[in-house]
Structure 1
Amino acid sequence: MQTLVLIPGLGSDGAVWRRTVAALGSRVECLIGDTHSDDTLAGMARRILDQAPERFALAGVSMGGMVALELMRLAPERITQLALIDTNALPDTLGRKMYRLLANLVVGRTRNFRRQAERSLALLVHPNAPDDVRAELVEMSVRVGARAYVRQNRAVLARGDLREVLPGIRAPTSVIVGQDDRMTPVSLSREIHRLTPGSTLHVIPGCGHLPPVEKPEAVAALLSELLQRS
């Protein structure tokens, strides 16, 4: 049985992958990468490498995709297949850096993080995302908490240009993105696809920034297809 390591995004935990894991069923052994114990993307990547088997498939969503690229930088020989989902290999623009700093300031001072989590849904999911998905995401954000959000946002803010990793990737790679992602638009995934040799690009219609929870059956099908490539 293949092992698939799944990396959550910023402010997320394994719940963001729960529906996709259920859709994969018993076909694959799924492990959730720890992104809550380190202050840098590289530190997260090293911890995941320490916890993972010698060889494994890898999928990361949003910030998790950035961590996945750090793993590809550190130990490409250990990764058999790679999925990069709604992520961004570019460094932040000045405007995006200012946005992250402001977000950290607001979150660090808020006394009602749940309300902040509810407000963020407009950027995270498609307008037609069902209520149970929205409720699940809010509960996940509250559970992970404001401190983890701020710490992870600083790690993302400090990243370099991850595009330099892409041309050297030799593992079969799927680039997956929600068609209506407002946080990391399709153009960013097209850039990753263009720079990654032999990669495939999949745009999921009617989906926002979090396909693993918004469209788990579609993501599971794409991951199953990827795992058959060698």
Structure 2
Amino acid sequence: MMVRTPMTTPPPQLILLPGLLNDAELWRDQIRGLADVARCWVPDLSPYATIRQMAEHVLVHAEPTFALAGFSMGGYVAQDIARIAPERIERLALLDTSIHVDTPERAAQRRALNKAAAKGGTFLGIGQAIMKSYIDASRLDDVDLTCRIVDMTQRLGREVFLRQNSLQREDGEAALRALRVPLVVIVGENDQITPAEGHRKMAAAIGCSHLVVIPDTGHMTPMEAPGPVNGALRHWLARPAGHR
């Protein structure tokens, strides 16, 4: 008598979109920690000069449908994917990002940073001098964490920084509000780059009732707080499809 083995459904593809001057190292702990519930893929966004080119690269290489998580700059890429191929997104997570165009003040800051970075000399990436704006004050003495961030940003280098910091960011509110999939918004309580209050407004604007604010954490939540981030993503991945 032949015994049939029950068919099992493979876990979903989870596309993890990195932020400015980030690569797969940003998501190291999510790739490991979620391996039993998702097949993670971190696209290389570094060669591309526009958000649209990044989104199209992801769509060309992704499976027909997927779960999508975007961190910081990657959140804007996720929004563009929602704008051009919403039917392919099974669920969406936004981490430490924004859904609006840069304010005039933020645009001026970007121009100033690009001017400084273009001067030549040694490119320090997210060096120690500005680390305090990227991670929580309680983690500034964490040598392993700060070295991972510095090494990652130096590895990507000046040209990638200049390209990514110059990207035109579009308003994604309408595209996200139109999605009918499980949503989650995650932010560090002390994020100085994209503050928590902005995420509260973002969640309300797009109709997301799942907002996770992680205490004692700055902008780099996937690296600073992998346990809470993984817990929030695991809960999001388990939520029923087709419900916000």
TM-score bracket, normalised by the shorter chain, equals: over 0.9
Of structures 1 and 2, the one with the larger relative CO (CA 8 A, separation 6+) is 1
Q: What is aligned with 1:108?
A: 118
Q: Match for residue 16 of structure 2?
A: 6
Query: How far off its partner does 1:199 sit?
Result: 3.8
The two structures have a TM-score, normalised by structure 1, of 0.95
Give SS of 1:149's match.
helix
Identity %: 35
1:174 alignment partner in structure 2: 184
Higher Cα Rg: structure 1 or 2?
Answer: 2
Q: Is structure 2 residue 169 aligned with structure 1 residue 159?
A: yes
Aligned counterpart, 1:141 = 153
What is the alpha-carbon root mean square deviation over aligned residues? 1.3
Q: Provide structure 2 residue ranges, at least 5 long, that are not aligned to the other structure.
A: 1-10
Equivalence map 1:6-45=2 (5 Å): 6-45=16-55
Using the TM superposition, name which of 40-49 and 191-200 deviates more. Answer: 191-200
Residues 147-200 of structure 1: per-residue CA shift (max 9 Å, x gap): 001101111xx2222223232121110000000000000111112200223441
Would the aligned equivalents of 1:82 and 1:174 in 2 still touch at CA under 8 Å?
yes
Other structure's SS at 1:19 match: helix
Cα shift at 1:60: 0.8
| Native 8 Å contact 2:134 2:220 kept in 1 | yes
Instruction: Choose from 148, 156, 162 the match for 1:150.
Output: 162
CA offsets 1:33-69 (integer angstroms, 9 cap, x no match): 2211211111101110111101110001110111111
Offset at 1:115? Answer: 6.8
Contact 2:184 2:208 (C-alpha < 8 Å) held by counterparts? no
Is 1:210 equivalent to 2:231 in the alignment?
no
Q: 1:116 Cα shift?
A: 5.5
Count of equivalent residues: 228
Matches within 5 A, 1:196-207: 196-207=206-217
Structure 2 counterpart of 1:99: 109
User: Hey, which of these two has a bigger chunk of helix by percent?
Assistant: 1
Distance 1:51 1:118 in 2: 36
Contact 1:56 1:80 in 2 (8 A): yes
Q: Distance in 1 between matches of 2:176 and 2:40?
A: 24
Q: Is the 8 A contact 2:191 2:219 kept in 1?
A: yes
- CA distance in 1 between counterparts of 2:106 and 2:162 reads 15
Aligned-partner residue type, residue 35 of structure 2: G
Shift of residue 25 of structure 1? 3.3
User: Quick check: 1:81–1:173 contact (8 Å CA) kept in 2?
Assistant: yes
CA contact (8 A) 1:172 1:199 kept: no
Residue identity matched to 1:45: A
Give, in angstroms, the shift of residue 128 of structure 1. Answer: 1.6
Question: Which aligned runs of 4 or more in structure 1 are off by greater than 4 angstroms?
Answer: none
Which 10-residue stretch deviates more, 9-18 or 158-167?
A: 158-167
Residue correspondence of structure 1 range 115-134 to structure 2 within 5 A: 117-129=127-139, 130-134=142-146
What runs of 5+ residues in structure 1 fail to find an aligned partner? none
1:82 matched residue in structure 2 = 92
Does the Cα contact within 8 Å between 1:179 and 1:186 map onto a contact in 2?
yes
Q: Secondary structure at the match of 1:109?
A: coil
TM-score (norm. length: structure 2)? 0.90
